[in-house]
């Protein structure tokens, strides 16, 4: 971030965000950020209407809060209908970030995952809607998959779910996990319908410390309307000097990141964010084209999505993506290698995320370093396939045993010959 923002962060590092009476300006800045982000996501707000949202430590806390709101609304609806409300579930793709699994486990919600398939590494909207039942508190769509940066088709999900709701009488909603893509799609793909323009999208989370361009420790959760955030989840406290509504898992936290987010939003504005995201996308294209020219990789990521490049080896019979990741560390690059979730776990991928400070020069240098690594690996013996490891180990064990026998025989021969020589002299 800019030096001026660093100074603001240092100046506010001793401010507790939760003490709204002592630091009312921080609360005002948070509310302004919520309003700007809500308008960015096309929330249906009147001219004088205030947006509903909250600043969080990151998208993990934002997802917990959104999930709790969905669970409570579903419980209230089931109780009013005289139906059991002890078995809630949530439908997601198998490509979701681990914080969704945390939410499900911590707050006792069944996680129903749509499995992936070869070549299709995001949630299939039709399969997701097929898994929805009366106990589904929401369907979670990902705008910017962690695995390959791809945007899920929230528009198709909304249309299919609207049809199912009409047939069943349910009102299953949608949450959009836009941790990565929330600060990308409005600037690069303004015509893409994924946000509050879709009626079933009731809440959206986004990470300020990803493409919101703030240091780690800030996220946002925005609700469509006040109705979508149950009032009973909001606490009102007055022991800090005034009535203070709060809906967070964390109570005390620093004000610095909220102030930093506000600085970025007013400093860069819409055009500034747009220019940065376009530059990131162009650098991702440079990297992608460089990798394609090597002829060694399949590009798994999509052109439309988070500016990242996910790629895998066309031929992994001799060497693996994990070896490439390991060798790149020698050149100072940390490029993660990982396997896809079920049912695409046989696919291994390398991923490079293009941040604001990842220049075209760095993209070109990374391609050169990857080419060097490929040459080094080609000069090495082929790795042993996992299926042959047992046979290799057995062969090595047998060879060691034979060598021991040869050594024992050799020692006995020398001992016998030495005895014969002694007898002869005597």
- Residue 111: give its domain's CATH number: 3.40.640.10
Question: Is the CB of residue 296 less than 8 Å from the CB of residue 323?
Answer: no
Q: Are residues 155 and 208 in the same domain?
A: yes
Determine the Cα–Cα distance for residues 182 and 221; give it in Å rounded to an integer: 11
Instruction: Specify if 404 maps to a domain.
Output: no
Judged on CB neighbours under 10 Å (0-12, 13-18, 19+), 237 is middle
List per-residue pLDDT tens for the chain, 426 residues long.
999 999 999 999 998 887 777 788 888 999 999 999 999 999 999 888 899 999 999 999 999 999 999 999 999 999 999 999 999 999 999 999 999 999 999 999 999 999 998 889 999 999 999 999 999 999 999 999 999 999 999 999 999 999 999 999 999 999 999 999 999 999 999 999 999 999 999 999 999 999 999 999 999 999 999 999 999 998 876 655 566 677 888 778 889 999 999 999 999 999 999 999 999 999 999 999 999 999 999 999 998 899 999 999 999 888 899 999 999 999 999 999 999 988 888 899 999 999 999 999 999 999 999 999 999 999 888 765 545 555 555 656 666 776 777 776 777 677 666 665 544 443
Determine the Cα–Cα distance for residues 162 and 149; give it in Å rounded to an integer: 26
**Domain residues for 257?**
3-270
Q: Are residues 209 and 293 in the same domain?
A: no
Range list of β-strands (E), 155-199: 174-177
Total domains in the chain come to 2
**318 secondary structure, DSSP code:** S
Instruction: Specify if 347 maps to a domain.
Output: yes
- Using a cut of 0.85, tell me whether the model's pTM lies above it: yes
Instruction: Specify if 393 maps to a domain.
Output: no
Determine the Cα–Cα distance for residues 413 and 404; give it in Å rounded to an integer: 14
Instruction: Specify if 16 maps to a domain.
Output: yes
């Amino acid at each position: 971030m800019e030096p001026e923002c660093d100074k603001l962060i240092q100046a506010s590092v001793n401010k507790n965000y939760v003490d709204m009476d002592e630091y009312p300006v921080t609360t005002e800045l948070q509310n302004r950020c919520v309003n700007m982000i809500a308008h960015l996501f096309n929330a249906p707000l009147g001219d004088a209407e205030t947006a509903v949202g909250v600043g969080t430590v990151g998208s993990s806390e934002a997802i917990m809060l959104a999930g709790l709101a969905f669970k409570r609304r579903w419980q209230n609806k089931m109780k009013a209908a005289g139906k059991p409300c002890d078995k809630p579930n949530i439908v997601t793709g198998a490509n979701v970030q681990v914080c969704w699994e945390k939410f499900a486990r911590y707050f006792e919600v069944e996680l129903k995952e749509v499995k992936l398939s070869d070549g299709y590494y995001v949630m299939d909207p039709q399969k997701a809607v097929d898994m929805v039942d009366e106990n589904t508190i929401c369907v979670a769509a990902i705008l910017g998959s962690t695995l390959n940066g791809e945007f899920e088709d929230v528009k198709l999900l909304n249309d299919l779910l609207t049809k199912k709701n009409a047939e069943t009488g349910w009102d299953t909603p949608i949450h959009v996990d836009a941790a990565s893509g929330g600060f990308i799609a409005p600037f690069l793909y303004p015509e893409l319908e994924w946000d509050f323009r879709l009626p079933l999208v009731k809440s959206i989370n986004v990470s300020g410390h990803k493409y919101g361009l703030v240091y780690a420790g800030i996220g946002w959760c925005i609700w469509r309307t006040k109705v979508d955030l149950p009032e009973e989840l909001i606490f009102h406290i007055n022991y800090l000097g005034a009535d203070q509504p709060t809906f967070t898992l964390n109570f005390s936290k620093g004000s610095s990141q909220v102030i930093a987010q506000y600085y970025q939003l007013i400093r860069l504005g819409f055009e500034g964010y747009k220019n940065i995201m376009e530059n990131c996308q162009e650098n991702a294209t440079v990297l992608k084209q460089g990798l394609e020219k090597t002829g060694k990789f399949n590009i798994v990521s999509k052109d439309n999505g988070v500016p990242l490049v996910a790629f895998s080896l066309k031929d992994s019979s001799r060497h693996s993506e994990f070896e490439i990741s390991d060798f790149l560390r020698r050149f100072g690059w940390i490029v993660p290698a990982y396997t896809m979730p079920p049912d695409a776990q046989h696919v291994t991928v390398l991923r490079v995320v293009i941040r604001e400070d990842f220049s075209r020069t760095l993209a070109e240098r990374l391609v050169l370093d990857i080419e060097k690594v490929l040459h080094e690996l080609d000069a090495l013996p082929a790795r042993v396939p996992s299926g042959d490891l047992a046979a290799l180990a057995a062969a090595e064990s047998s060879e060691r045993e034979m060598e021991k026998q040869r050594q024992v025989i050799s020692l006995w021969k020398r001992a016998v010959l030495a005895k014969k020589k002694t007898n002869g002299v005597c």
